[in-house]
């Protein structure tokens, strides 16, 4: 039986493992061998397998929430580009989506992705292109109102060209932010992955106008050789729609 993820950070509880070395097989590129060796020796990959998470990215949202506390019992959460589901696995127990924490408010989480995602108990997952014109209204309909948190770990397919990849992921993050502006409730939070590279300045400017606090963080589980970082914007300042005034 697969272990049920608890959403708790168990960092430091494991034992030291021996390094696994991988030989380059005939027909396999050296870069593929290096990737495989890195995966086999990555402590977060091992923890994810041992603790029942769908990927090492689960520990990134875990560490971010440990610091900023946006995944609280009763929170209404939207996870954009949620495949394979690791962030949702962390969020479900933290927002009490299954109602297992007696006396605590029960949260709700909606996962959205272009591809089909295996079900996760406590979450509602939908196939949707969140860039569609009416995506914000569709998401609010599924959620039954506005969200307290919109989060995204999306990344465009790598082209091998750092600047191109940077621009692509910033474009995704900007699109996610625009949807967040449409669906977040007053005081809500936006959490998303970006790549350091210089083109994120305009996004940062807009976020600082829309939120009370904006932090840029590289969690411990983010690989040291990666240029990824995460923006955590809290205290959303929502402008009421004309029909709400």
Distance between CA atoms of residues 154 and 169, nearest Å: 8
Q: Per the annotation, does 85 bind a ligand?
A: yes
**Tokens (6 digits) for 27:** 């027909």
Fill in the DSSP letter of residue 217: E
**Beta strand segments in 4-131, E:** 76-80, 108-113, 123-127
Please give the Cα distance from 129 to 135 (Å, whole number). Answer: 7
Two tokens, residue 199: 């083109």
DSSP designation for 197: S
Instruction: Please check if 113 is assigned to a binding site.
Output: yes
Is 52 labeled as ligand-binding?
no
- Render 70-93 in DSSP notation, one character per residue: ---TT-EEEEET-TT-HHHHHHHH
Active site residues: 193
The Cα 229–Cα 173 span in angstroms is 12
What letter does residue 108 receive in the DSSP assignment?
E
129 is in an annotated binding site: yes
Q: Can you say which residues are annotated as belonging to the binding site?
A: 85, 87, 113, 129, 153
Write out the binding residues for S-adenosyl-L-methionine.
85, 87, 113, 129, 153
């Amino acid at each position: 039986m697969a272990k049920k993820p608890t959403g708790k950070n168990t960092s430091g509880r494991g034992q030291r493992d021996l390094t696994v070395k991988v030989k380059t097989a005939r027909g396999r590129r050296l870069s593929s061998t290096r990737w495989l060796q890195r995966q086999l020796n990555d402590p977060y990959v091992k923890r994810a397998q041992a603790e029942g998470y769908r990927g090492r990215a689960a520990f990134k949202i875990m560490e971010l929430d440990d610091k900023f506390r946006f995944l609280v019992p009763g929170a209404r959460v939207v996870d954009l580009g949620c495949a394979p589901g690791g962030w949702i696995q962390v969020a479900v127990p933290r927002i009490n989506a299954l109602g297992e924490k007696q006396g605590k408010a029960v949260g709700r989480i909606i996962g959205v992705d272009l591809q089909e995602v295996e079900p996760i108990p406590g979450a509602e997952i939908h196939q949707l292109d969140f860039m569609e014109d009416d995506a914000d209204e569709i998401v609010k309909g599924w959620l039954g109102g506005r969200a307290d948190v919109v989060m995204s770990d999306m990344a465009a397919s790598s082209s091998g060209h750092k600047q191109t990849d940077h621009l692509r992921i910033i474009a995704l993050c900007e699109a996610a932010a625009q949807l967040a502006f449409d669906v977040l409730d007053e005081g809500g939070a936006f959490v998303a992955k970006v790549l350091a590279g210089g083109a994120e300045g305009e996004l940062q400017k807009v976020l600082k106008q829309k939120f009370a606090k904006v932090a840029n963080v590289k969690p411990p589980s983010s690989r040291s050789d990666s240029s990824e970082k995460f923006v955590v914007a809290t205290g959303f300042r929502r402008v009421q729609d004309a029909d709400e005034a």
